[in-house]
Amino acid sequence: MPELPEVETIRRDLDKEVVGKRVKLVEVTGMRSIRRHPNKKHFIAKLEGHKLAGVERRGKYLLIRLEGGDVLVIHLGMSGQLLRARNETKDPLTAHTHVVITFTQGGQLRFVDPRTFGEMFVTTPEELPDVVPELAHLGFDPVEFMMSWTKFGELLVARKAKLKSLLMDQKFCAGIGNIYSDEILFAAGLRYDRSSETLSSQEVRRLYRAMVETLQDAIKHRGSSLSDEQYRDLFGNPGEYQNMHKVYDREGQACRRCRSTITRVKFNGRSSFLCPQCQV
């Protein structure tokens, strides 16, 4: 599933490429991707004729503000892609293209989703907390909201949870998933199963710095595309940060820091990767 760096990369691209454009035509195949709407016409009517006024990210959600006040909410799910295209003649439609938004100025925005766990829907800002209740309970955004390491330490002590579980808890910290929790913990030199209240002040500082720097670096390299390459940026290109991974999906390979062997363990039903020598 795309995490904060991937969604933030797309947000920044959308801000440059589609904000300010007016929707001319919307085409939808099937109801799965717009399942919150009663029918296709209802979804299409909410978009056609409206200008895209701005875009923001909340956790792993994209919110595109529409002229007139409504919000187009986009969640990429497991395999969703937002792709900029010219038209069907120059850029033929690919399989699993479920929504095509054509702009009056030319060009299209396409929603492609092979596994169809992602979705798009239009709602009002007032209804948004009820429609997507998790947005009302998101924790701090580690890219948008800076805090002191002492405040961060207070949050860690208050929760008393295993570090990986805590980093992935969207009510604690918004946007981090399986990939970046492993990378952050390696950078901080901490094990996935350390309890948050046991960290020393030095370890708290290391963890906070690792979180901010890892996510910023991943955004700089336009996110991570794994072997299935399901994550693509707005222009259809894979990310580059997977080439910088220190532990994630590197089982059996040498640690880039100490040359020990990277191991994989099961934690809360997920694969976690770590260096047993570098992380304590």
Q: Across residues 6-12, what is the average pLDDT?
A: 98
For 2, residues 6+ apart whose C-beta sits below 8 A from its C-beta are: 10, 60, 76, 80, 223, 231
Catalytic-residue membership of 256: no
Q: Decide if domain 149-274 falls under CATH 2.60.120.10.
A: no
Q: Which of 17, 1, 48, 11 is nearest to 219 (CA)?
A: 11
Q: Across residues 34-52, what is the average pLDDT?
A: 98
| Alpha helix (H) residue ranges in the chain | 4-17, 40-47, 128-131, 149-159, 163-168, 178-188, 201-220
Catalytic-residue membership of 21: no
Domain extent listing, the chain = 4-137, 149-274
pLDDT class for 229, splitting at 50, 70, 90? Answer: confident
Q: Which overall architecture, per CATH, does domain 4-137 show?
A: Alpha-Beta Barrel (3.20)
pLDDT at res. 227: 84
Catalytic-residue membership of 134: no
Of 11, 60, 194, 246, the active-site residue reads 60
Of 2, 159, 191, 246, the active-site residue reads 2
pTM of this prediction? 0.96
pLDDT class for 133, splitting at 50, 70, 90? Answer: very high
Strands (E), the chain: 23-28, 52-58, 61-66, 71-75, 81-85, 97-103, 108-112, 119-123, 263-267, 270-274
For residue 276, the Cα-to-chain-centroid distance in whole angstroms is 28
Domain 4-137 shares a fold with domain 149-274: no
Q: What is the pLDDT of residues 171-221, one digit of tens each?
A: 999 999 999 999 999 999 999 999 999 999 999 999 999 999 999 999 999
pLDDT at res. 228: 79
pLDDT at res. 1: 84
How is residue 214 written in tokens?
Answer: 């890892």
Report the percentage of the chain scoring pLDDT > 70: 100
Tokens 């799910």 label which residue?
A: 77
Taking the alpha carbons of 157, 162, 167, 169 in that order, is the dihedral positive or negative? negative
Catalytic-residue membership of 238: no
Of 40, 162, 270, 276, the active-site residue reads 270
